[in-house]
Amino acid sequence: MTIAVPATEAEARARAEVLRETIRHHDHQYYVLDQPEISDAEYDQLMRELAAIEAAYPALVTPDSPTQRVGGQPAEGFAKVRHEIPMLSLANAYSPDELRDFDRRVRESSGGPVRYVCELKIDGLAVSLRYEAGRLVRGATRGDGEIGEDITANIRTIRAVPLVLRQPVTIEVRGEAYMPKPAFARLNEQREASGEPLFANPRNAAAGSLRQLDPRVAASRRLSVFTYALAEADPPAPVSTHSEALEWMARLGLPVNPTFAVYDDIEEVIRHIEAWAQKRHELPYATDGMVIKVDSLAVQQTLGATAKSPRWAVAYKYAAEQAETVLRTIELSVGRTGAVTPTAVFDPVFLAGTTVTRASLHNEDLIRERDIRIGDLIVVQKAGDIIPEVVRSLPERRTGDEVPFRMPDRCPRCDQPLHRLPDEVAWRCINPACPALIREALIHFASRDAMNIVGLGEQWIDALLEHGLVRDAADLYRLTKPQLLQLERMGDKLASNLLDSIERSKGNSLERLLFGLGIRLVGEKAAKTLARHFGHLDALMAADENTLTEIREIGPKMAESIVTYFRGEGARSLIQRLKEAGVNTQYLGADGPGARSDLPWSGRTFVLTGTLEAMDRKEAAAWIERFGGSVAGSVSRKTSVVVAGEKAGSKLDKARALVDSGQAPELAIWDEADFLSALRALGAEL
């Protein structure tokens, strides 16, 4: 249904302001208070109406509109920001007695009783937010306290941060940007699947996300923020205490953690800290302590600060929750890059809300440094309250039966020699016939972000290997139905579907194949960069390290890894057999040197919105690129086709508005049935 757009600009301006205010209210209810008042469909309808108005009246688009949260191109670097009011660090306390000493110093200096505010210490990255006349104008990192970096574009992507306050005040507030635990778990799962290093904890993940030069990357990380301090306000804020300042900030629409509490003496503070010691693990974000602040702003002023930290505040740091247990064995696993990783297996312990029995030991050097032996009594904790790790052994409690661990010099799966490069800590199996490497390589090759062979999961890969039907990825393209029907629980229809999926994967664009090959250090993004730059696999294979490092995103280590991979006889043989099987080795996107101009959709730009039932967006984009089209993230007058699935959002409304206003009369709007019909007409077997 086409959304009715006001007939005059004055009416459109008034309606747009109502919509923006309504959307901001619901953003606050959802992202800050976790108390949504309307359904997702109703929210999407508000966004669609606003987008339609802005498309019809471009002059009404404002930088702080909810439709403008993510945009722009990657920055070349971050500008420096000088903090007019320094962002000081806090002194730490690790015991109740240290808190009592802090309280004594405060009372002696202030000359009387003192009230304290307790706030959970969020484990993230300190940021400063500045609003002028109620509008967000700058977000910055803490840096060294005096000079930080301007990360405004990334801060704007965080939906908990209001772009416009509820009052037109000029203020600067301090806060903590953090990554919620579920978002952190998803991010590490994605990085592990693409062979990228994992983030050690949510704090590192949040910091790394906010320092991305491309705000679209930051937007994908699902960060959030809690603001915890009012640095300055113009006009002066109507508050005399820190707790009043927090309440005032919340009324302005800023995200303030609602768990803060006010107490009259330090013993109440200590009981509050003890009460949260276990309860904090139930929160959806990581905390590593409690911040205790003098409530009175006048007393804060009297106490002042040292060069490094305020005298009126202290951070109580919870000791990492640890447990003692017995290390029963060390298991070795071989990843798809050949890295052999030791994993500690120990008696179950309960840590930070879950039962833990395993923890990665990462490499032989770590085991040696921490003197960890099989049979040891060990201390285990969760790094960042999330990832289990072995902290140390307890050698003073050994019985003499403990066994020192030695990394084998041969692969635990294929018994071939292991190798260790001079600049690496990992031992690797480089035998291309290693069963572990073959299995992991096949799983990766068939995965959703690589060749996307639907239905070919770990179970079937194990069965194919067990029956000797495949040795590498090229063998997948020689499978026959009679061979598949040999497998237990493999029926005729399932075999047909799997063969169809394998056949479809032949037409993937080059970047999927490159990622699927599992070249060390080449993740999904780098694969797309290489495919776009070279256009054809043969051109990439002929490139030397100097040619590769001329590409901005490709560093020396990645270039060396790429050249080494393609120099190997095994890799060259595999690629030749993939070519013979009919697997595409050309980049099909419309933005690369290998793009063909004779394909049916050459020169046409598609935009995908909403949910498709027959395929996900990546698969839909792959089909579009296979037929010469390109996929854009936003709708403009240059868009050729908008494919709208279920719950299509503001992109669909903008497309309709452009068509209705006559600004893009050639723009076509397809539903999923139209899209599938067009694909089938071009010969796609869906």
Confidence of residue 74 (pLDDT cuts 50, 70, 90): very low
* 96-110 vs 266-279: helix crossing angle, rounded to 10: 150
CATH, range 605-681? 3.40.50.10190
Please tell us whether the domain made up of 117-262+284-315 is placed in CATH 3.30.470.30: yes
Confidence at residue 75, expressed as pLDDT on a 0 to 100 scale: 47
Structure tokens at 511: 């970047």
**Averaged over 569-575, what is the pLDDT?**
90
What fold characterizes domain 9-68? Helix Hairpins (1.10.287)
Quick check: 170 and 255 in contact, CB under 8 A? no
Q: Which of 151, 257, 284 is nearest to 207 (CA)?
A: 151
Average pLDDT for the chain: 87
Which entry of 80, 121, 308, 481 is annotated as an active-site residue?
A: 121
Q: How confident is the model at residue 1 (pLDDT cuts 50, 70, 90)?
A: very low
Instruction: State the pLDDT at residue 537.
Output: 95
Helix, strand, or coil (residue 156): coil
* Structure-block tokens of residue 98: 């240290």
**pLDDT recorded at residue 193:** 53
Q: pLDDT-based confidence at 319, cuts 50/70/90?
A: confident
Domains of the chain, by residue range, sit at: 9-68, 117-262+284-315, 322-404, 435-505, 510-580, 605-681
One-letter amino acid at 544 equals D
CB atoms within 10 A of CB 282: 8
Residue 192: per-residue pLDDT: 60
Task: Decide if 654 is catalytic.
Answer: no
b/e code 377-392 from CB counts within 10 Å (16+ = b): bbbbbbebbbbbbbee
Token pair for 552: 């901005």
Determine the pLDDT at residue 520: 82
In this prediction, residues 376-385 reach a mean pLDDT of 82
Mean pLDDT in residue range 229-238: 92
At 94-112, the pLDDT tens digits run: 899 999 999 999 999 998 8
pLDDT of residue 442: 94
CA distance 210 to 130: 17
The architecture in CATH of the region 322-404 reads: Beta Barrel (2.40)
Correct CATH for 510-580 of 3.20.20.80, 1.10.150.20, 3.40.47.10, 1.10.10.60:
1.10.150.20
For domain 435-505, the CATH superfamily is 5' to 3' exonuclease, C-terminal subdomain (1.10.150.20)
Position 575 pLDDT exceeds 70: yes
Rounded Cα–Cα distance for residues 535 and 585 (Å): 9
With pLDDT > 90 as the criterion, what percentage of the chain qualifies? Answer: 46
Give yes or no on whether 9-68 and 435-505 have one common fold. Answer: no
The mean pLDDT of 490-502, rounded to a whole number, is 92
Q: Predicted confidence band at 551 (pLDDT cuts at 50, 70, 90)?
A: confident
| Torsion (CA) 570, 574, 576, 579 in degrees, nearest 10 | -170
